[in-house]
Amino acid sequence: MAEGKYRVSAQAEGFEAGTAEVDLQGAGGHQDFALKTIKDTQDVVKQMTGQEYITSLPEDTPQHRKMKDVFYNTCTGCHEPNYILQNRFDEKGWEAILNLMARVYNGGGEFGGPDISPFPVMQYYKKELATYLAEMRGPGQSPMQIKLHARPKGEAARAIVTEYSIPVVDADPATTDNGFPTNDGTNWSLGTPSALNQSRGLHDSQTDRNGNIWFTTSEPNYTRTVSMVDTKTGSVTNIKVPGLNGMAALTHGLSMDQKGILWATVIGDPRSSGGSLMRVDPSTMKYEVIPPPKGNTGASTSVDVDTKGNVWATTSTGAIRYDPNTHEFKEFKSPTLTDNGPGGSYGIAADRMGNGWWTQINIDRVNRADIESGKTQEFKEAPRAARADGVLTAEDKKLYELAGTELTDFSAWWSQGPRRMGADKNGDTIWVCDYWGGNLEKYDIRTLKSTAYKYPTPESAPYDASVDKNHNVWVNLTNGDSVARFDPKTEQWTEYSLPTRGIDLRHISLDERDGVTRIVVGYTRNSKIARMQVRSRQELQALKAQAQQLSAQAKP
């Protein structure tokens, strides 16, 4: 590290954060921390991750089990449980919030007005949910049994995470801290941050060949379509593609091809029926928006590049493949098609044989396009066993039927929720994250057989997967504020906690330019990007020895 003054902090659940300034000169610096125990449970609760909140909800009665499922499936698809459960309200208070949320657009978070139809499942259970939430997180004694995640140890404690704070787009000085979020989740004791000051929006992130990190922005703004963080200086450069009404076109998915060209999906692009592809050359900063031809469905949430350089993107009805050499688009429809609602594609990955795979999160399907035959086939995931199994009434079932069963935005109790996915470009596997089911699902691209690997910590909400050069699968755990590595050989998991709370992780990418595997994730809620590297025990010991040597030299 360069000489200078550094703010150093130490944090652990159940303890107050310790912070200090260290003046790093010559031989280095030294700072010990003695963290104070937090005595009030309510203050500990504020530090908890979404996973910890959900796991702490009791399942001692059929009603508790049922409402835990209703809450988990209805209220945590768009934001983490900790954003909700850090609050305490009485029944009326929770009902007021549910009244609002039932009519909020899930994309932008705006209130749609009293005349739009509320989300049926939330509306139907509103009273029961309000009663339940007031019991769990109300003014009285809660039956929640606080269950904190085990502190990291061993390899899980050897991660170095570098976080880049990204200025809030179109920052309002009145609601930001010099252009940055007033609470960016750094101090866990402040609780899960609100994203209502426009700190939400950063979506996918990807390292370019120069080591700079690019990211997409999916929330309405006037400035950012795609942006680049200079990882040496931390400065951010924005590219704005004109959208509607003077605003920036919005982007969602992001990936890089073998030539170092970045590919993003432009969502809701007026130039096409739904969305376009965006090509960005990081070396020149030049970009091109490529709308699919008329008649093709537009690109949507996710993008991947196959081993031949073809760009695959999800659509509302399946997937498209774009050949940058011939400029040709090819469209593939999901066998079970539901048109821009339940059944819209979410995650995508291209296997090393050149076939495309995509998920339909709301109807529990994984699809594969066989590039040779042009045919698509689907794989229906087995329903998960819900806590509420046996508690469902005929009325409950009728509700889900009327609401489309696998209604967009919410899952049913039995949904697995295949969200995003990653391909092993050097192997024969595709890895799918079951958001609700908590599985990592492996698909063998040759036999087409699937195997589910349950994530050991329940309710962690695995979201996206990326496979490294050694075939390890890296997964971002939305409810855990963490990433995890799955070793397919040993079938063992290692979870790495990230330093910030309430981060709404939605994407994971790898940077392996120099042979070292670094994990890159964007914090959607907190306007940060993190790059993580795991050190070996030997590296750590060597570092310690070096520090001891410098320290000894510094002594008079």
Partner 1 sequence: MKEIVARERRLDSRSFIARKLPALALATVAAFVLSGYLFVSNAPSFAAQPAQEASIDTDTIHYDSGGFNLDAFVAKPKGGGQHPAVLVIHGEQGLDESMRTIAKQFAAAGLVALAPDLTSRLGGTRSPAQMAQAVGQLSLNLTLHDLRAAFAFLQKDADVDPSKISSVGFGWGGWRSFMLATSVPELYRAVVYSGSMPSQGFESIHAPVLANYAQYDFRVTGNALWTEKTMADAGKKFTYYVYPKVYHAFYTEGPQYDAEAAKLAWTRTLDFLQK
Nearest to 360 by CA among 386, 332, 341: 341
Q: 29, 342, 480, 499: which one contacts partner 1 (CB under 8 A)?
A: 342
131 binds partner 1 (CB under 8 A): no
Q: Is 122 exposed, middle or buried (0-12, 13-18, 19+ CB in 10 A)?
A: buried
Q: Distance (Å, rounded) from C-alpha 368 to C-alpha 426?
A: 18
Please report how close the Cβ of residue 118 comes to partner 1 at its closest, in angstroms: 6
411 binds partner 1 (CB under 8 A): no
Q: Is 353 left (phi over 0), alpha (psi -120 to 50) or beta?
A: alpha
Q: Tokens 């000894």 — which residue? A: 552
Half-sphere exposure of 168 (CA within 13 A, CB side): 24
Which positions from 205 through 224 interact with partner 1, judged by CB under 8 A? none
Q: Which two tokens stand for residue 218?
A: 């999916």
Please report how close the Cβ of residue 144 comes to partner 1 at its closest, in angstroms: 28
Angle, helices 126-136 vs 91-101, to 10°: value is: 130
Pattern 87-106, partner 1, x by CB under 8 A: ------------x-------
404 binds partner 1 (CB under 8 A): yes
First CA to last CA across the chain, in angstroms? 23
Q: Is 470 helix (H, G, I), strand (E, B) or coil?
A: coil
Please report how close the Cβ of residue 295 comes to partner 1 at its closest, in angstroms: 8
Please report how close the Cβ of residue 116 comes to partner 1 at its closest, in angstroms: 5
Q: 216, 408, 457, 460: which one contacts partner 1 (CB under 8 A)?
A: 408
124 binds partner 1 (CB under 8 A): yes
- Site size for partner 1 (CB under 8 A): 36
Q: Distance (Å, rounded) from C-alpha 502 to C-alpha 47?
A: 9
Which positions from 292 through 311 interact with partner 1, judged by CB under 8 A? 297
Q: 175, 194, 405, 494: which one contacts partner 1 (CB under 8 A)?
A: 405
Q: 81, 118, 480, 522: which one contacts partner 1 (CB under 8 A)?
A: 118
Q: Tokens 């040759």 — which residue? A: 446
Spatial CB neighbours of 245, under 8 Å, sequence gap ≥ 6: none
Which of 9-17, 51-59, 393-401, 432-440 is the region at the interface with partner 1 (rule: CB under 8 A)? 393-401
* Contact in structure between 100 and 91 (CB atoms under 8 Å): no
Q: 337, 392, 452, 547: which one contacts partner 1 (CB under 8 A)?
A: 337
Please report how close the Cβ of residue 355 comes to partner 1 at its closest, in angstroms: 23
Q: Tokens 């402040």 — which residue? A: 190
Which positions from 490 through 529 interact with partner 1, judged by CB under 8 A? none
Site residues (CB under 8 A) for partner 1?
Answer: 99, 112-121, 123-124, 297, 317, 333, 336-343, 363, 395, 398-399, 401-408
